[in-house]
Amino acid sequence: MKTYIILLGLLVTVLSCKQKSFETDGVQYSGNLRDVMSGDIEATITLNELKSMKNLYALGAVEGLDGEVQIFNSQPFISKRESDKIKIERNFQSNAAMLVYAQVPEWHEIEVPKAIYTLKQFEPFLTHHAEQAGIDTSKPFPFMLEGNVRKLSWHIVKFNPEVEVRSMMDHMKMGLNGVTVEEKAEILGFYSKDHQGVFTHHDSNMHLHFRTENEALAGHADDLILGAYMTLKLPKQ
């Protein structure tokens, strides 16, 4: 009887999440940013479903817009606003309104020239080297940047029902936001030319989240100035 009740509880949890999962050449996603921006912030996936996946990399938004999801090599860093402080949860207990993820067993590393320091400069560098590495850039793919960043603007969302949401800026105002400078960080990104409003924002082909080396800060990267000789990591083909 006890086992039955536990299984029933798990079934209810799974069914309570609106299943909106899709896969595109190894990159999987659940929910989409367009719906989130329209106010649909219910869970579409339980992170616990992904707990057993090896070499997992993921980013997204917690259900109810109660924080940001970052998973680096199957290690979760769920960042939330608690009063005016940052709380990092290191478990799979949260659900996500939107999530994009992939499994990457091995990475190919490329040094980024110090002359490349803006995201506008970085994007063509990214796609060029992805194509050289045998990645089909007409399809979504994950990537990472590691090293010392000169400047990183970030936010951690926290839904406020009293704020009318019309733009990404409105979302940012509801949570914590700030700027970190001259800090070592890992930045996880997903690139796609065809998923704006789905898992990249409407004006970008990239969606970026990060964690600092000391693991004290993690969240959504709004803008970035690269430090000298950062490392680009692409899935090894």
From the list 227, 151, 207, the residue with the least C-alpha distance to 36 is: 207
**Number of domains composing the chain:** 2
Whether residue 69 is found in the same domain as residue 53: yes
Q: What is the pLDDT of residue 38?
A: 84
- What pLDDT, on the 0 to 100 scale, is given for residue 17? 55
Residue 8 is predicted with a pLDDT of 39
Is residue 99 located within the same domain as residue 114? no
Element (H, E) at 147: strand 141-156
Q: Give pLDDT, residue 155.
A: 96
Place of tokens 């936001």: 177
pLDDT of residue 4: 40
Give me the pLDDT at residue 11, please: 43
In degrees, to the nearest 5, what angle opens at C-alpha 161 toward C-alphas 88 and 190? 50
Range of the domain at 64: 2-103
Helix (H) or strand (E) holding 16: helix 2-16
Q: Which residues pair with 29 in a beta bridge?
A: 22, 100
pLDDT at 16: 46
Tokens of 73: 């090599």
Domain's final residue, options 103, 127, 157: 103
pLDDT given for residue 61 in this prediction: 97
Buried b vs exposed e over 106-132: b needs ≥16 C-beta within 10 Å?
A: ebbebebeeebbebeebeebbbebbee
207 and 120 housed in the same domain: yes
Q: Are residues 62 and 114 in the same domain?
A: no
How far is the CA of 19 from the CAs of 11, 22, 99, 139, 159, in angstroms?
Answer: 13, 9, 12, 22, 22
* Below-70 pLDDT ranges, the chain: 1-22, 24-25, 162-173
In terms of domains, do 48 and 151 share one? no
- Label residues 8-17 b or e (16+ Cβ within 10 Å = b): eeeeeeeeeb
Question: Could you tell me if 20 and 31 are in contact, meaning their C-beta atoms sit under 8 angstroms apart?
Answer: yes
* C-alpha radius of gyration, the chain, whole number: 18
Boundary residue ending a domain (103, 134, 150): 103
| 21 and 45 together in one domain | yes
CATH number at residue 27: 3.30.1330
Same-domain pairing of 45 and 7: yes
Instruction: Return the H-helix or E-strand segment holding 167.
Output: none
The pTM assigned to this predicted structure is 0.88
Same domain, 166 and 198: yes
| CATH number of the domain encompassing residue 209 | 3.30.1330.80
Q: What angle do CA 157, 70, 166 make, to 5 degrees?
A: 30
148 in the same domain as 193: yes
Same domain, 74 and 111: no
Collapsing DSSP to helix, strand or coil, 73 comes out as coil
Q: Are residues 97 and 123 in the same domain?
A: no
Residues 118 and 99 in one domain: no
Q: How far apart are CA 121 and CA 148, in angstroms?
A: 17
Boundary-marking domain end, from 78, 103, 128:
103
